[in-house]
Homo-oligomer: A and B are copies of this chain.
């Protein structure tokens, strides 16, 4: 009888011979099979559950006998009694190989689990978090062999988990001794292996075996809002999501006002740094509370943001980002102590990872979109537009990916629009205008009914939000209320009393409650001009990248950003925001930047991947490309002065109107500063 036995693991197919009596966990490690364990094989954590197969396996050429594994032992019996072990499951650290055997590793027992991302594209993501919980038993101190508690913990991690050269911040060292004693020298160490060449780092320490997972934060730090997800680092599930306003708004609505504030006010940048760090701390606290978990178990944070927010968060003066050549202080990915950037409510040794910036105007948020949408993995040509105060634009396929930023200004967010407001209950978010009667109907946020539905009731209508103004202008163009140059016709020209004079121009009245003291909501000629400026900038940026790519059309358009989720593809195309493609080829990626942040949170491979990809991305600076200005001017018309929109005109009719009878049009092509 042979002293060793054949072990075949599924689904990996890895196989090899091990000495009889070898625990399955040890066999898995020896063969490089991905089998989880937090307790290091002590029968505590149950993460190493496996499902042995018995009988004939012609595919593998083995017959597995009933005694191929050692009998269920006392540890497994106790575990089954107390916590329950699924039918057919064994603990990999207890069951020993006694004969040829086929062993299935269920998905939940793999460290590198495949998880489905909740996004439009539903791509699969592999769990590969930088920080793992590792249970260790640490030698007690001895007067005969004096050594530090940290050194003995490091020795235990090296001998039990092959963690070499452990480092720890002072904040973690300061908590070490009481935890080791509370756990009676048995502790669960949260160890970060960043995979970037730096030493493994002790991030947190918990007494005894820690049952619950470790957690991380994925934070999308926008100029206006800060959104965060609290994520379990064992399987990537989102336990809480929350957001708050960026308190820097009081220093300036848009990015350039904040850069100006920093330039004009000594200590201004530091004030903004303090404000945003305080907000991150508040958000972290709120997320932990919402998820009902101990914030001290949050060991990682990933932050994505634009370059100005990035510099302000790090305490770097953003002044250089306000003027050519828009030099970043640093653009590489960063792995910092989270406490350094104010994330103090979480584990004292928690780490913060910032994705790389792409260029002076193209931030880590765009890198996160690139990570989430991965245009480089596709043969077809994707145009990905992240619409915010600035639009960040990616164009590419498996051959190469280009990126630029375009200064759209805040009009798409409802700012600088006469009846504009932020997306909030009472804001008009959808609108339709009858092309014959020119009468509008609309929906408001917080009300499921259209305004012409009796169930609409009599809600307070407060204004019009970003997606509402886009639909309004596009519907006005479709209904012949606005001509291709963007001019609103008079009541006579259009044939509706809703077009009323306003100085030398006209406005279109959507809703008028002024008789009852309520609001009067209109689209003015100025609003149309603001939207034209914004959409021209967006389109010009996309065209510039298409020029660089040497193409006249793209295969698909992805609208990213929270706002992207609310834009109707048809209306976006009527406006000429995006190039002409079949409507079905326009999709929303939701908050792709947030998704990218979650991916980087859950996977070291994703971090290394996007770092390498950002180096490969070809950066185009719109400010120095003369063709940008040409594209911008040509894109002023709705949808466009020269580019044909065959896919669009196949599904909608664009009335041929021209209201500029007297030649009094107000022009409108002024460039807007960035922000």
Q: Which A positions have Cβ atoms within 8 angstroms of B?
A: 140-151, 165, 168, 170-171, 173-174, 176-178, 197-199, 314-317, 319-320, 324-332, 336, 340, 357-360, 362, 619, 621, 623-624
Taking a contact as CB atoms under 8 Å apart, the answer to whether B314 and A170 are in contact is yes
Using A173-B329, A173-B330, A177-B317 as known contacts, list a sample of 20 further A-B pairs with CB atoms less than 8 Å apart, ordered by residue number in A. Answer: A143-B324, A143-B325, A143-B360, A144-B624, A145-B619, A146-B621, A148-B327, A148-B330, A148-B332, A149-B329, A150-B330, A151-B330, A151-B331, A151-B332, A165-B197, A170-B314, A173-B314, A177-B316, A197-B199, A198-B199
Taking a contact as CB atoms under 8 Å apart, the answer to whether A146 and B619 are in contact is yes
Taking a contact as CB atoms under 8 Å apart, the answer to whether B177 and A329 are in contact is yes
Bound CA span A330–B202, Å: 13
Chain B residue contacts of A332, Cβ below 8 A: 148, 150-151
Taking a contact as CB atoms under 8 Å apart, the answer to whether B141 and A325 are in contact is yes
Taking a contact as CB atoms under 8 Å apart, the answer to whether A143 and B177 are in contact is no
Taking a contact as CB atoms under 8 Å apart, the answer to whether A143 and B326 are in contact is yes
Taking a contact as CB atoms under 8 Å apart, the answer to whether A177 and B146 are in contact is no
Taking a contact as CB atoms under 8 Å apart, the answer to whether B359 and A146 are in contact is yes
Bound CA span A199–B194, Å: 15
Which 4 A-B pairs rank lowest in CB-CB distance, beginning with the nearest? A146-B359, A141-B327, A148-B331, A148-B330
10 of the cross-chain contacts (CB-CB < 8 Å) are: A140-B325, A141-B325, A146-B358, A146-B360, A146-B621, A170-B316, A170-B336, A171-B315, A177-B316, A177-B329
Nearest CB on B from A30, distance (A): 29
Chain B residue contacts of A326, Cβ below 8 A: 141, 143, 146
Nearest CB on B from A79, distance (A): 34
Which of A142, A330, A360 is the most central at the interface, judged by chain B CB atoms within 10 Å of its CB?
Answer: A330
Bound CA span A357–B148, Å: 9
Chain B residue contacts of A324, Cβ below 8 A: 143
Bound CA span A140–B199, Å: 32
Bound CA span A477–B392, Å: 89
Bound CA span A320–B173, Å: 13
Taking a contact as CB atoms under 8 Å apart, the answer to whether B317 and A147 are in contact is no
Taking a contact as CB atoms under 8 Å apart, the answer to whether A331 and B176 are in contact is no
Chain B residue contacts of A144, Cβ below 8 A: 621, 624
Chain B residue contacts of A358, Cβ below 8 A: 146
Contact A340 B177, CB 8 Å, known A327-B141, A332-B148 = no
Which of A173, A316, A319, A329 is the most central at the interface, judged by chain B CB atoms within 10 Å of its CB?
Answer: A329
Nearest CB on B from A622, distance (A): 10
Taking a contact as CB atoms under 8 Å apart, the answer to whether A143 and B330 are in contact is no
Bound CA span A336–B358, Å: 31
Taking a contact as CB atoms under 8 Å apart, the answer to whether A330 and B174 are in contact is no
Taking a contact as CB atoms under 8 Å apart, the answer to whether B148 and A328 are in contact is yes
The chain B residue sitting closest to A168, CB to CB, is B330
Chain B residue contacts of A148, Cβ below 8 A: 327-332, 357
Contact A149 B317, CB 8 Å, known A143-B621, A621-B144 = no
Taking a contact as CB atoms under 8 Å apart, the answer to whether B330 and A142 are in contact is no
Bound CA span A623–B142, Å: 12
The chain B residue sitting closest to A198, CB to CB, is B199
Nearest CB on B from A409, distance (A): 20
Bound CA span A435–B273, Å: 75
Bound CA span A114–B317, Å: 43
Taking a contact as CB atoms under 8 Å apart, the answer to whether A170 and B315 are in contact is yes
Bound CA span A624–B332, Å: 54
Taking a contact as CB atoms under 8 Å apart, the answer to whether A147 and B621 are in contact is no
Chain B residue contacts of A319, Cβ below 8 A: 177
Residue in B170, B330, B362 whose CB lies within 8 Å of A340: B170
Bound CA span A174–B141, Å: 42
Bound CA span A433–B524, Å: 107
Taking a contact as CB atoms under 8 Å apart, the answer to whether B315 and A177 are in contact is no
Bound CA span A392–B362, Å: 59
Chain B residue contacts of A178, Cβ below 8 A: 317
Nearest CB on B from A121, distance (A): 28
Taking a contact as CB atoms under 8 Å apart, the answer to whether A146 and B315 are in contact is no
Bound CA span A326–B140, Å: 11
The chain B residue sitting closest to A615, CB to CB, is B147
Chain B residue contacts of A168, Cβ below 8 A: 330
Bound CA span A146–B199, Å: 30
Chain B residue contacts of A165, Cβ below 8 A: 197
Chain B residue contacts of A199, Cβ below 8 A: 197-198
Nearest CB on B from A606, distance (A): 22
The chain B residue sitting closest to A331, CB to CB, is B148
Chain B residue contacts of A360, Cβ below 8 A: 143, 146
Chain B residue contacts of A314, Cβ below 8 A: 170, 173-174
Nearest CB on B from A277, distance (A): 12
Residue in B145, B316, B624 whose CB lies within 8 Å of A143: B624
Nearest CB on B from A113, distance (A): 32
Bound CA span A197–B165, Å: 10
Taking a contact as CB atoms under 8 Å apart, the answer to whether A331 and B177 are in contact is no
Taking a contact as CB atoms under 8 Å apart, the answer to whether B143 and A176 are in contact is no
Residue in B149, B171, B619 whose CB lies within 8 Å of A330: B149
Taking a contact as CB atoms under 8 Å apart, the answer to whether B173 and A331 are in contact is no
Bound CA span A168–B332, Å: 12
Taking a contact as CB atoms under 8 Å apart, the answer to whether B170 and A317 are in contact is no
Which of A146, A197, A326, A619 is the most central at the interface, judged by chain B CB atoms within 10 Å of its CB?
Answer: A146
Chain B residue contacts of A317, Cβ below 8 A: 174, 177-178
Bound CA span A121–B324, Å: 60
